Amino acid sequence: MDYTGILKRAWQITWRHKALWVFGFLLALFGGGWGSGGGRGFQYTFESGDQVAPGWTIALVGLVLLFVFVAVVLSIIINYLSRGALIGMVREVEETGGTSVPSGWRKGRPYILRLFGIDLLLGIPAVIVGIVLVVLGLMPLFLLAAKNEAANILAIVLTVGLMLVVVALLIVMGLVLSLLRELAFRQAVLDGKGVMSSIRDAYRLARANLKHVGAMWLLMAIVGIVSGAILIPLSLAVFAISAAPGFATYAASESPLAGIVVGILFAIPGILVLSALGGVYQAFQSAVWTLTYREL
């Protein structure tokens, strides 16, 4: 397999066909997880001294939860639509020499549930196995109940040793699942297979071409490290630029809400720029694996 040729071709496709950037941008923007922050509670006191009534608090919390739910569902839809679109668009470029954003929507839309199902079928067992491994790794801590110095030392030593093994196993499992995921997605989109068939045939394909798949993963890992070395300082700069006005507003007004709002407003342009850069990388990465799959 011509690994260098695949990387060069993937970059040519990514650079020349800007329609891929649209779905890469959406994937970078909506492909991450949703986090939640903590606070002092649901009650907020305005500067006037009036407190939010319990009824309004419940309604506000309900609206926030509804918004989060809708946002999560939309992010899932856009995430998997974008993944399917990128895969189908690269094949279209290879077969016809061109592609477009409307074509990407058409190619990605039919595979949203199928790609989501592949992730569920791979992810749920992985989470269960991960939890079991961690629990087994922590079991020597029960020796601490003996309240014996020798038993305590043995418990700590065994726990550290077992957890190192667990971490290694989780890393290997994550690597295997990431490779299966990339190949299974392309089995579904490019060959029109179902969820189970995609995973089964992806495993067979990876096992039969372990050398090539492993080498490409290693190359992409190096590319990812280089990309991260560029994007991480940019991300820190965006955080600093957005945080400074937020802290200044909080210091001037003594209002946490005002500081947060100002910080978010200053962060939005930077987040969009970072997502655009990340989108180009997402498009390139998807193109690499699609070309690799076609070569295999």
Per-residue model confidence as pLDDT tens digits over 11-23: 999 999 999 999 9
Q: How confident is the model at residue 285, as a pLDDT?
A: 92
pLDDT digits (tens, 9 = 90+) for 54-79: 667 787 888 888 888 888 889 899 99
Q: How confident is the model at residue 201, as a pLDDT?
A: 95
Residue 167 has pLDDT above 90, yes or no: yes
Q: Find the largest Cα–Cα distance for the chain.
A: 73
- The residue-averaged pLDDT of 177-191 equals 93
| pTM (two decimals) | 0.78
Least confident of 90-99, 136-145, 206-215: 136-145
pLDDT digits (tens, 9 = 90+) for 207-222: 999 999 989 999 998 9
274 compared with 255, residue with greater pLDDT:
274
Average pLDDT along the chain:
84
31 compared with 95, residue with greater pLDDT:
95
List of residues 6+ apart from 4 with CB closer than 8 A: none
> How far, in Å, are 98, 105, 275 from residue 282 at the CA level?
19, 17, 10
- The label of the residue with tokens 């992810």 reads 123
Q: How confident is the model at residue 46, as a pLDDT?
A: 40
132 compared with 30, residue with greater pLDDT:
132
Residue 38 has pLDDT above 50, yes or no: no
Q: How confident is the model at residue 243, as a pLDDT?
A: 74
The torsion of the CA quartet 127, 132, 138, 140, rounded to 10 degrees, works out to: -170
For residue 105, how many other CB atoms are within 10 A of its CB? 15
Residue 233 has pLDDT above 90, yes or no: no
For residue 224, how many other CB atoms are within 10 A of its CB? 12
Q: How confident is the model at residue 41, as a pLDDT?
A: 39
Position 2, amino acid:
D
Residue 111 has pLDDT above 90, yes or no: yes
Residue 36 has pLDDT above 60, yes or no: no
Beta bridge pairs of residue 250: none
> How far, in Å, are 7, 104, 208, 237, 258 from residue 230 at the CA level?
19, 28, 35, 11, 32
Position 117, amino acid:
G
Residues 259 and 253: beta-carbon distance below 8 Å = yes
Using pLDDT thresholds of 50, 70 and 90, give the confidence band for residue 53. Answer: low
Residues 217 and 224: beta-carbon distance below 8 Å = no
Least confident of 53-67, 106-120, 189-203, 210-224: 53-67
Residue 251 has pLDDT above 90, yes or no: no
List of residues 6+ apart from 292 with CB closer than 8 A: 1, 6, 212, 213, 216
75 compared with 43, residue with greater pLDDT:
75
